[in-house]
Structure 1
Amino acid sequence: MKKISFRTFGLKRIDTYIIKKFLGTYFFSIVLILSISVVFDITEKLDNFVSHNAPLKAIVLDYYLNFIPFYMNMFSPLFTFIAVIFFTSKMATNTEIIAILSSGVSFRRLMLPYMISAAVIATISFTLGGFVIPHGTKKMLDFEDKYVRQIKQSNATNLQMEVAKGVIMYIGRFEVSNNTGYQFSLEKFEGKTLASRLTAETITWDSLYSWKISNYLQRDFNGMREQITKGISKDTTIMVQPEEFYITAAEAPQMSIVKLGSYLKRQRERGVGNIKLFEDDYYKRFSMPLAAFIMTLIGVSLSSRKVRGGMGLHLGVGLALSAIYILFSAMSTSFSVNGSMSAFAAVWIPNVVFLLVGIYLYNTAPK
């Protein structure tokens, strides 16, 4: 059986050398920082684990097994940048970059193995962020809620949403302990005209979309006429379930990219406006993988030149740019949450700005 190697795909020995160096440095740095993060997290939460009698199996499998991919994905753009700068600076210091360019390899061609490595990292990041981490985050948050601190809400207040086209539901307070809502109203509109209004003291969830209302008053409007119906108890169908009342921004990471997209679509149809954090999380699932290419472009362009100060100078500049990128992302997210700009723009502006920086550095890099 013929052995498959990088050269099978038309890559040269220098390409395989750079790819192995890039990915090796990336995974080594990620493992190192995650090991330190786990140690610090254990130190911080050890008292909670002991006081709540958290079993060792749950700590390892439910918490830290999901903690690792979550933070690996979070740190991915930063350590992509650091990995590129670290080993490329070393190559430049050893005049390897000069030798490669002098042999007739163009700077553009030199970027190929870097971009292949970035594609590998971007694919891993997208898969983790879109499908793997959401499932693990749910387990991690359930563990924290049980053994560290209470996260889940026990009631919700002032709930208002469009449960169907032209049908607005309002609940003053809903308690999860008995699946009962208080101060309920359901209004149906035909265009801009109110067609009916149903009010009740309580509404209790039965199953699926089946609800039971108690002490209700139904008012149906027909032009200038009004028909009033009263009753003690009545079963009705409302296209909403209690779990939708307790979805907070902290639960956005628990949804897969497909589920999160469907949730956003449904909330927009219902007229729910407070979904900025969900939109921010959704768009980041796409922007973060692409950040690997941008950070790689900046890293190679910045560290491929041999300068006095060598690797230390490149790492210093690289860390400064990384800090600016993180700060920029945090500021744009806050603008989005405050309503100053759309979530889409807030997530993508840092990438666009740093892409322009990368293109500038690429054009000025020694060829």
Structure 2
Amino acid sequence: MKFYKTIDFYITRKFLGTFFYAIGLILSIAIVFDISENLDEFISKDIPLSDIIFDYYLNFIPYFANLFSPLFTFIAVIYFTSKMAYNTEIIAILSSGVSYARLMRPYLVSALIIAVFSFVLGNYIIPPANSTMINFREKYIRTRQINTERNIHRQIEPGLYIYMQSFNSNNVGYHFTLEHFEEAQLKEKLTAQNIRWDEESGKWIINSYWKRIIHDDYEELTNGYRMDTTLNMSPKDFTQLRNEMETFITPNLIKEIDLMKMRGVNYVEWVIEKHKRLAGPFSAFILTLIGAGLASRKIKGGLGLHLGLGLLLSFSYILFMQISTVFAVSGNTPPFVAVWIPNLVFALIALFVYRWAAR
């Protein structure tokens, strides 16, 4: 028995054709709206057409394609399955002895193709595309927002900790402390009025400092007005560009999270980004099962009601994802739970709809 028959190719062609047509249509509309919004900027700043096309819009497309992927997966399934149901094609297939579970095979294969498409985009293509697009905006349209920190505690090396009351965009940190521990015992402590990064020498300049060295039976105290030194840290460790995590491909994102954990940096948003990239592709399977289950039966209201239900559930899924993410950022929910719980809830809904449709 063939794994994939003519009817399977027919359903797959319908599914993927509708999906990519819908994505292409919404991308065309999104590009037109974006051009109308930014046209004055493009003209007034005399931005080269090649930069607009290749640095901006060519990188704009994969981002929005992936953003709308869950919504249009659902709409595509609802649309073509509902048309098949009202043309009695679904009834004919099931009447020929094909089980509902077997009918779902081409749907799930199509969902797998979309999931792989979404995974590759989200984890490996969109991050460098985002970086290019952000650099374009920063170069021609507006300066990128930089977030600086206060009350900074970091472990810059094993046993070596720093503290700064604040660090500003001029690469100056105030009320600086450097502590060296060995086997949980404080061995050295340096306090300074401020610390400044010198771009030319690639060193830190510590101003107005006191240094305390603790020996077994006595302490040594020294002070000075200036010290040039190298430390395993750089200004970018204390400033964060807005949405910077969106420019890292996933392997590099994971490495950055591990580094942030070691240094004691708040990395919650980065972990959320990692889990969103992994959880997102699974929505293709969940929404496909729900959409196929709802649309495979004739109901009063026809295609319009099917599409209405589809849009309601799609937006409910997206809203649920956003709300749970907010809880994770605020620290009320672990990032893994916050990102995956919408998939879990809608997977249960998909199971219910599947059993209802298979009766």
TM-score, normalised via structure 1 length: 0.90
Tell me how far 1:269 sits from its aligned partner.
1.9
Question: How far, CA to CA, are the matches of 2:161 and 2:242 in structure 1?
Answer: 23
Q: Distance in 1 between matches of 2:201 and 2:280?
A: 36
- SS in structure 1 opposite 2:155? strand
Q: CA deviation at 1:169?
A: 1.5
- In structure 2, what is the equivalent of residue 110 of structure 1? 103
CA distance in 1, matches of 2:201, 2:52: 33
The sequence identity of aligned pairs, in percent, is 47
Q: CA deviation at 1:114?
A: 0.8
Displacement of 1:189 in angstroms is 2.5
1:278 to 270, 281, 294: 270
Aligned partner of 1:106: which letter? Answer: S
Q: Which amino acid aligns with 1:276?
A: V
Task: Tell me the alpha carbon deviations over residues 43-66 of structure 1, each in whole angstroms, 9 at most, x when there is no partner.
Answer: 112222233332222111111111
In 2, Cα distance between equivalents of 1:293 and 1:55 = 42
Tell me the amino acid that sits aligned with residue 46 of structure 1.
Answer: L
1:360 aligns with 2:355: no
Secondary structure (helix, strand or coil) at the match of 1:204 reads strand
Contact residue 207 and residue 227 of structure 2 kept, 8 A: yes
One-letter amino acid of the structure 2 residue matched with residue 59 of structure 1: I
Q: Deviations over 1:235-258 (max 9, x none)?
A: 434222322322345111101101
Cα drift, residue 223 of structure 1: 5.2
- Is residue 335 of structure 1 aligned with residue 324 of structure 2? no
* CA deviation profile, 1:246-277 (whole Å, cap 9, x unmatched): 234511110110111111112112222x2221
Mean alpha-carbon deviation: is it higher for 245-254 or for 200-209?
A: 200-209
Q: How does 1:1-367 map to 2 (within 5 A)?
A: 10-153=3-146, 157-174=150-167, 179-200=171-192, 201-205=194-198, 211-222=204-215, 225-248=218-241, 250-272=243-265, 274-367=266-359
Give 1:3's aligned residue: none
SS of aligned partner of 1:169: strand
Q: Kindly state the Cα deviation for residue 195 of structure 1 after the two structures are TM-superposed.
A: 2.2
- Which amino acid counterpart does residue 95 of structure 2 have in structure 1? S
Q: Is the deviation greater in 302-311 or in 205-214?
A: 205-214
Question: Is the Cα contact below 8 Å between 2:205 and 2:227 reproduced in 1?
Answer: yes
Report the secondary structure of 1:247's partner residue: strand
Give the Å deviation of 1:174.
4.2
Q: 1:35 is matched by which residue type in structure 2?
A: S
In 1, Cα distance between the equivalents of 2:217 and 2:83?
83
Ranges in structure 2 where 5+ consecutive residues have no aligned partner: none
Aligned mates of 1:325, 1:265 — CA distance in 2: 30
Letter in 1 for 2:261: R
- Which ranges in structure 1 are unaligned for 5 or more consecutive residues? 1-6
Alpha-carbon distance in 2 for matches of 1:154, 1:283: 23
